[in-house]
Copies of this chain bind each other. A is one copy, B any other.
């Protein structure tokens, strides 16, 4: 698959696909003519990268943790305590973000529901005791 195909399949611009490669997030082969050749599994991988990026995780960190997100048993060979610290740190940060997002997501949902109640002709001052 070449870059345009992957771009269409993931919604990520070719520019960004090259950038991810540059940042060491993906490894890409070349055809004889110099064109990049992308393996199928990269579709998922690129989607995962996008998700992490959208969640505020910088490429530098993604590069660190990405190898640990699949096939875990395969790579545990290098039981580097430094890496371990990084991973634990990142996991904790993720947990914190999840909590924050969950909290705000709930609040938004409540607000949306309140709007709907207000729109569908309900008395505006009626409310669930939160």
A binding-site residues for B, Cβ under 8 Å: 48, 51-56, 65, 68-70, 72-73, 75-77, 79, 81, 83-84, 87-88, 90-91, 94-98, 100-102, 104-105, 107-112, 114-119, 124-125, 127
Assembly CA distance A27 to B88 (angstroms): 37
A sample of 14 inter-chain contacts (CB < 8 A) reads A54-B97, A55-B56, A55-B100, A76-B117, A76-B124, A77-B124, A79-B118, A84-B115, A84-B116, A87-B112, A87-B115, A88-B112, A91-B112, A98-B102
Assembly CA distance A88 to B105 (angstroms): 10
Copies in the complex: 2
CB distance from A65 to the nearest CB of B (A): 6
Determine the chain B residues whose CB is within 8 A of the CB of A91 once the complex forms: 105, 108-109, 112
Assembly CA distance A127 to B75 (angstroms): 13
CB distance from A117 to the nearest CB of B (A): 8
